[in-house]
Amino acid sequence: MKSLIAIIPVVRFPRCWLVVLLAAGLGGCAPLAEPRVDEAEARAFIADAEARLLELWIAAGRADWVRSTYITGDTNALAAAANAELMAATTELSAAAARFDGPDLPPELARKLNLLKTSLSAVAPSEPALQRELAEIIAEMEGIYGRGTYCPAGADECLDLTAMERLFASVRDTDELLETWTGWREAALPIRPLYERFVELSNAGARELGFDDLGALWRARYEMPPGALAAELERLWSQVRPLYEALHCHVRAELGAELGTAVVPPDGPIPAHLLGNMWGQSWTNVHETVAPRSGGRGYDLTRLLQRARVDEVEMVRYGERFFSSLGFEPLPATFWDRSLFVRPADRDVVCHASAWNLDFESDVRIKMCIGVNDEDFVTIHHELGHNYYQRAYSGQDPLYRDSANDGFHEGIGDTISLSITPEYLVRVGLLDRAPDADRDIGLLLQRALDKVAFLPFGLLVDQWRWQVFSGAIPPDRYNTAWWELRERYQGLRPARPRDERQFDPGAKYHVPANTPYTRYFIAHILQFQFHRALCEASGFSGPLHRCSIFESEEAGRRLRTMLRMGASRPWPEALETIAGTREMDATAILDYFAPLAAWLEEQNAERTCGW
């Protein structure tokens, strides 16, 4: 009888099939080469995906612009439908992209596939019922957050979050702050079971794309080896932690002097409700309490703007002239026709400042209800930074029409804001004479209470989430682990004892909205690194906090070169273009705040620092 040989795959191992040779009685394990990816097929897939996504991005953006500038039930429904179609298509294309994984693709093609697969902050599993469930959970978590209120005992009205934030900015009564802080966190309690299920579903979706969990998918966007991003963030934090600890020491001592050491102990974490902000992430509202006795920054920009009779449009013109002085083309006529500068009297709008790119080419706009004041003057320069970035990379392929990494976009906007110095205000005719240098401590302290105080919070939010996604923080430790991280990084403790009945992470918008947060930490590092590099390019030689790159041709050339790259090259190459190095470096923060650091050292000489 003729021998028949059948080859049957039994068990799948990496690069190996267990082979059973029936009839011959042979068995063994033979290496199996990775299947080659068809490059032409991959290119065709990406080209089709980019064309399809660009059309959906534009449609969703236009619907969202109308919803944000003309809020009705109809515009909300239209925007939701457009965004649902975009999310469904992106999920489908991301899953399809996984079939092209392999070592044979050219680097630029592999990068596009990675950008596509990591373009969503949450990926649903392929099963339609689970996709619907995840979408409903995300919508419900955001809805709970948006509807959240606190109803003080005996009060006629409940407070929404905006009202509570205003309260934190102005009230110093510790009992009222304590009750409000606690009340807002009660609103987050219903989010907890939803978040547990969200983690299960989004992890399942990430695994279908080849990632260990959702956190691994987020980190893959940075194009670094596994574990490298977390180590890099810790390295950057170690550079700036001494400055943060000095600021923490001074603020704690001054709050203790005002409120008593029974409320603010001189050698422990600061109670989180006493820093003028619902989340303790920015401390600018306690500036009056902790400011140097010599006073503030030596000028009042709001009064200068009002004295010059500057209106809302002219506020934006100042920002445009800043970029024109660097060699950028003026903003198109459509920007002035289509942007929203003033709150309309006849309809509801979302006044939160934002920059938009409606056609991913030239239809850039800003949306904000401008007030003629110092804060909005700075914000306008920041938002225009986004618009000029969007215009610069508009010639790239669709998947590259973004910043080098998600920290670059915010970092660029803030870089421009750092150039609003007294010298800049003199050069544009708003200030007669720059204040003497002895007034700089007040200015630097005010900025540090915003920028430096934010750094550990910007780091820990995703530290918590990455560990939640990986399972290192199980559901029965969600709240405990949150406060362990807040004490470790920020030196803050909860206003009241907390336990696992609460869900305090859910009281921060970015957690229920599933918005990655590491971008904000990176942006705070990059903006000072960009600022230092551009100041050096401009030939400036004085104190870094007094530098403005206004009217510098060389700084403008470097900036334009980097902005035009978009996401077409890995972010270290973009960084090298502007800063001459491929590594992020937080020492620029130390250079910027050097005078303040010396002052803080004097103030803290007799104090016990640390927690």
Can you tell me the distance from the alpha carbon of 275 to that of 452, in angstroms, rounded to the nearest whole number? 14
The Cα diameter of the chain in Å comes to: 107
- Confirm whether 287 is a catalytic residue: no
Q: Crossing angle of helices 440-470/594-603, nearest 10°?
A: 90
List the Cα angle 235/237/239 in 5-degree steps.
Answer: 75
Instruction: Name the active-site residue from 410, 453, 517, 588.
Output: 410
Strands (E) in 105-219, as ranges, are 149-150, 159-160
HSE value, Cβ hemisphere, 13 Å, CA-based, for 449: 21
Can you tell me the distance from the alpha carbon of 103 to that of 112, in angstroms, rounded to the nearest whole number? 14
Kindly report the backbone phi and psi dihedral angles of residue 10, in degrees, each rounded to the nearest multiple of 5, phi listed first.
-110, -55
Q: What is the DSSP letter of 436?
A: P
Strands (E) in 364-424, as ranges, are 364-367
* The two structure tokens encoding residue 70: 């003309």
Quick one: which of 369, 452, 377, 364 has its CA closest to 419?
Answer: 377
HSE value, Cβ hemisphere, 13 Å, CA-based, for 334: 10
Q: What is the DSSP letter of 150?
A: E
Cβ contact 217:199 at 8 Å: no
End-to-end CA distance of the chain: 84
- Confirm whether 222 is a catalytic residue: no
- Confirm whether 410 is a catalytic residue: yes
Instruction: Name the active-site residue from 248, 287, 382, 524.
Output: 382
Can you tell me the distance from the alpha carbon of 81 to that of 100, in angstroms, rounded to the nearest whole number? 30
Cβ contact 457:520 at 8 Å: no
Distance, CA of 187 to chain centre:
24
Instruction: Name the active-site residue from 478, 517, 520, 592.
Output: 520
Can you tell me the distance from the alpha carbon of 268 to that of 37, in angstroms, rounded to the nearest whole number? 58
3-state helix, strand, coil in the chain (%, to 5): 60, 5, 35
- Confirm whether 200 is a catalytic residue: no
- Pairing type for strands 26-31 and 149-150 reads unpaired
Kindly report the backbone phi and psi dihedral angles of residue 402, in degrees, each rounded to the nearest multiple of 5, phi listed first.
-160, 175
Instruction: Name the active-site residue from 353, 423, 484, 536.
Output: 353
Can you tell me the distance from the alpha carbon of 429 to that of 462, in angstroms, rounded to the nearest whole number? 43
- Confirm whether 353 is a catalytic residue: yes
- Pairing type for strands 16-21 and 7-13 reads antiparallel
- Pairing type for strands 270-271 and 492-493 reads parallel
CB atoms near residue 25 (< 10 Å): 7
CB atoms near residue 65 (< 10 Å): 20
Can you tell me the distance from the alpha carbon of 528 to that of 534, in angstroms, rounded to the nearest whole number? 10
Instruction: Name the active-site residue from 50, 165, 320, 383.
Output: 383
List the Cα angle 566/571/577 in 5-degree steps.
Answer: 80
Instruction: Name the active-site residue from 33, 333, 345, 352.
Output: 352
- When computed from its CA atoms, the radius of gyration of the chain, rounded to whole angstroms, is 26
User: In 3-state terms, what secondary structure has residue 102?
Assistant: coil
Instruction: Name the active-site residue from 250, 273, 386, 545.
Output: 386
Task: Show Cβ contacts of residue 459 under 8 Å, excluding neighbours closer than 6 positions.
Answer: 233, 237, 489, 518, 521
* The two structure tokens encoding residue 309: 């009779």
Instruction: Name the active-site residue from 140, 510, 536, 551.
Output: 510
User: Which residues does the annotation mark as catalytic?
Assistant: 352-353, 382-383, 386, 410, 510, 520
